[in-house]
Amino acid sequence: MGTNETWAVIINLKSGKKNFRRQMLYLFHQLNKAQIAYEHQFTDFAGHAVLIARKFARKGFRNFMVVGGDGTVSEVINGIFSSGADTSNVQLALIPRGTGNDWARFWGLGRDYIHSVAIFIQQKKQLIDIGTIQYRLEDENYTHYFINSVGFGLDAAVVKITHRLKRYLGSHSFMYFIALLTAVFQFKSFRFHMKTKEKEIQDLLFTMNIANGCYSGGGMKQNPDALPYDGIFHAMLVRKPSYRDILTALPLLFNGRIQHHPALENLVTDELELNYHNGGYFEADGIIVNCDPPLTVAVQKNALYMIIP
């Protein structure tokens, strides 16, 4: 059987350590039982999944299973699409084991690994989009890929705080909310310039989230209408909120009604240019990426197949 039919199974050892050995033995047993060819490799450090996926892609693999969370999925996507290999007919499957699991949540995949493995065995698939971010750093051009969402301002600051908290508290989904409460009343709006095909804004920016999927930050719905297969992004931005705006908006982040808040602006686009002056970083799928603005965010339509329920 050729590599284009074999599954590359990339496993993040640090994602959800509980019952890990039993779950992996079950996964391998079910793959063997279903006569599904696979090769597997464990990650050893942050960013390792990028290198592993890139290696598999260059060997001709087109099928990738991620055992991990949002960050591992994002690293695998970056490895595949930065490999220079043929990326047509790429398939992606997910066995969720992460902290936030926002990408898995969109597809109805939970911590029940038996259910997730059964879904994989059925091999039902959906063609989906991914996002690209073109930017510069130290006078060199880069492309970063994301599958779920990308955030700027407060959104990125919350992710940065979450990573710091993980060092002391471990990986727990409630840390996103703790980080949000820590940052939201201290973060200050900054100058930005945004341009899309539909509009142009030059003002202050407090936070911005550009979404391919509707969940972020461990279950928050900043862009409730976002779908990863419609060829567009849904984006929300807040310019300079009052304390009252913040207090009234926080509960709406979890019930899907945030887009109706008067402090928010909602956009639908397939490409935008963004420049800002608040340090050079953004977050993509919960990963902090350093950059020198300006940058361009665009949809790569029908980029790969997702194995879904």
**Side by side, which strands form the sheet with 287-290?**
264-269, 233-238, 207-211, 149-153, 281-284, 287-290
The pLDDT of residue 26 is above 60: yes
The pLDDT of residue 198 is above 70: yes
Write the pLDDT tens digit of every residue in 180-193.
888 888 899 999 99
Same domain, residue pair 161 and 282: yes
Same domain, residue pair 111 and 146: no
Same domain, residue pair 99 and 198: no
pLDDT category of residue 100 using cuts at 50, 70 and 90: confident
pLDDT at 168 (0 to 100): 65
Q: Does residue 309 belong to any structural domain of this protein? A: no
pLDDT at 17 (0 to 100): 58
- In 13-148, the DSSP E strands lie at 38-43, 63-68, 91-96, 125-137, 140-146
Same domain, residue pair 110 and 200: no
The pLDDT of residue 289 is above 70: yes
CATH number, residue 143: 2.60.200.40
**Beta bridge mates, 297:** 133, 272
pLDDT category of residue 47 using cuts at 50, 70 and 90: very high
Percent of the chain that is helix, strand, coil (3-state, to 5): 30, 35, 35
3-state class (DSSP) for residue 1: coil
Same domain, residue pair 149 and 279: yes
Cα→Cα distances 134→43, 218, 270, 288, Å: 26, 26, 14, 15
Same domain, residue pair 160 and 208: yes
Query: Quick one: which of 286, 9, 295 has its CA closest to 156?
Result: 286
Report the Cα 160 to chain-centroid distance in Å. Answer: 15
Please give the tally of structural domains in the chain: 2
pLDDT category of residue 164 using cuts at 50, 70 and 90: confident
**Residue showing tokens 């992710």:** 159
Write the pLDDT tens digit of every residue in 104-141.
999 999 889 999 999 999 999 999 999 999 999 999 99
The pLDDT of residue 1 is above 60: no
Query: Quick one: which of 149, 150, 160 has its CA closest to 295?
Result: 150
DSSP 8-state class, residue 260:
G
Same domain, residue pair 167 and 287: yes
Gap between the Cα atoms of 284 and 152, Å rounded: 9
pLDDT at 2 (0 to 100): 61
Report the Cα 214 to chain-centroid distance in Å. Answer: 11
Q: At 77, which amino acid appears?
A: I
> In the Cβ-directed half-sphere of 195, how many Cα atoms lie within 13 Å?
6
Domain that holds residue 151: 132-300
